[in-house]
Amino acid sequence: MSVSKTGAIAERRTIDYIPDAERHGGLASQFTLWLAANLQITAIVTGALAVVLGGDVFWSLIGLMVGQLLGGGVMALHGAQGPQLGLPQMISSRVQFGVYGAVIPIALVCLMYVGFSASGSVLAGQAVAQLLHVDDAIGIVVFTVVIVGFTVFGYRVIHAIGRVASVIGVLAFVYMFARLLTGHDIGSLLANRHFTLSSFLLSMSLSASWQIAFGPYVADYSRYLPSSTSPRKTFWAIGLGSVIGAQVAMVFGVFAAALAGKQFSHHEVSFVVSLGGSGAIAALLYFAIAFGKITITTLNAYGSVMSIATVVSGFRGEQRLSTRNRAIYIVGMVGLAMGLALAGRHAFLKEFSSFILFLLAFFTPWSAINLVDYYFITKDRYDVPALYDPDGRYGRWNVTGIVVYAIGVLVQFPFISSAFYTGPLVDKLDGADISWIVGLVVPAALYYVVARHKAHAAPAHLILPAQPTSTGK
């Protein structure tokens, strides 16, 4: 069963190809979805980290913008694949890694979903708790129940939420910025300019990692667009929505952290709301924060279903996931995120910064390999039925892709600077973390060199699954 143009709201497809008859939607929805996904409290906190971890306001804003553009370009290139292939993002990794080998990056993607969902649930839970006048733990549980409900409905409902959340987010941020600019001396904050390379690169890393982390699932939300949709226009719709939304939120976070000082840690939501007002206005802002988190947390939960289905189908040779199993996976992944959020809600800020910076080392090589293969080697000449066949064109394990991926991860370790691990070359770079740059450039160049001779093995054109012929009705 599947969602037709006039059919049920609830989605039943998972990792299978979306036929032309079921394609729908437009680029405006892509823009609003990614704008809403970024106009939210976790992006505010991410921007705040640039100051909390030692940067000044002026250069933090510049560094965040540079990282935003670089990372946003990478994620939008992934998103542009969706209409052309009609597939979730991680299924296409089987071209580069093999049907079984793709499990390697997918397992790490699942960690990303859980980590970002958990961190987002902490902040959303704080907002819900303030609205309902309950403990933060209860707020987290209530928020989790809402996420499960929306995720079950799937693609159409997610895009509808994105449209509503984008409007709420724009209104909330316009109001908060107005209060911020009229109630505080922003000029004095911007006048504090002490450039250090390590702090500047930290700001770049925060925003670049934020954007690149969307790469593994951005095409999941563009795959229903008509196949005739322009890849270039898809790129700009997704990229602009994501970059504008994230930069606006992170700029606010930089100012908020600079004003708050030590008050920001562990009181992120309440301090942000206090900048906007009290009473009924505060209640509306808490609602806007909680609703803003619904979009991105639902994206994470939905993406987790795509990833788990990809893993399971790879070993079972299946193309679809039953409605029952889909629901089980949703509850399982969202429940795990809730458990982590409840356990770590008192030490959120420090753990979150360490998580996103370390996580980047495992996503940039995958992203580089996928993009080089799609745009320069295989291009869009995929054999879609073979993606589900371990004995087909792409095989069980693609040694070339796996080895290049492993090298891409390992070459970053000398340059990583995080609470989990600090590389031996970090001190020589004044504490700067450039691992994500190395993780993009090295595997991209290496994969192109070792895999370009395989371009002739790709099919002459995109091969699609057999589709039912039209009855003329």
Q: What is the pLDDT of residues 120-167, one digit of tens each?
A: 788 788 888 888 889 989 999 999 999 988 888 888 888 888 899 899
Q: Are 387 and 94 in contact (CB under 8 A)?
A: yes
User: What percentage of residues in the chain have a pLDDT greater than 70?
Assistant: 89
Give domain status of residue 321, yes or no: yes
Query: Tens digits of per-residue pLDDT, 4-43?
Result: 343 456 677 777 889 988 898 999 999 999 999 999 888 8
Give domain status of residue 3, yes or no: no
Q: Are 118 and 222 in contact (CB under 8 A)?
A: no
CATH number for the domain including 249?
1.10.4160.10
Give domain status of residue 9, yes or no: no
Number of domains in the chain: 1
Q: Which domain holds residue 128?
A: 24-457
The tokens of 154 are what?
């799937």
Give domain status of residue 225, yes or no: yes
For residue 401, pLDDT over 90 is answered with yes
The tokens of 198 are what?
């390590």
Using pLDDT thresholds of 50, 70 and 90, give the confidence band for residue 265: low
Return the closest-CA partner of residue 393 out of 4, 49, 10, 99: 99
For residue 272, pLDDT over 80 is answered with no
- Residue 38's CB is within 10 A of a number of other CB atoms, namely 30
Give domain status of residue 209, yes or no: yes
Give domain status of residue 471, yes or no: no
For position 306, what pLDDT does the model report? 80
For position 207, what pLDDT does the model report? 93
The CA distance from 432 to 196, in Å, is 9
The CA distance from 86 to 43, in Å, is 29
Give domain status of residue 7, yes or no: no
Mean pLDDT of 246-255: 93
Give domain status of residue 325, yes or no: yes
Q: 307 CB contacts (<8 Å, ≥6 apart)?
A: 90, 106, 109, 110, 113, 216, 217
| Residue-averaged pLDDT of the chain | 84
The CA distance from 50 to 128, in Å, is 26
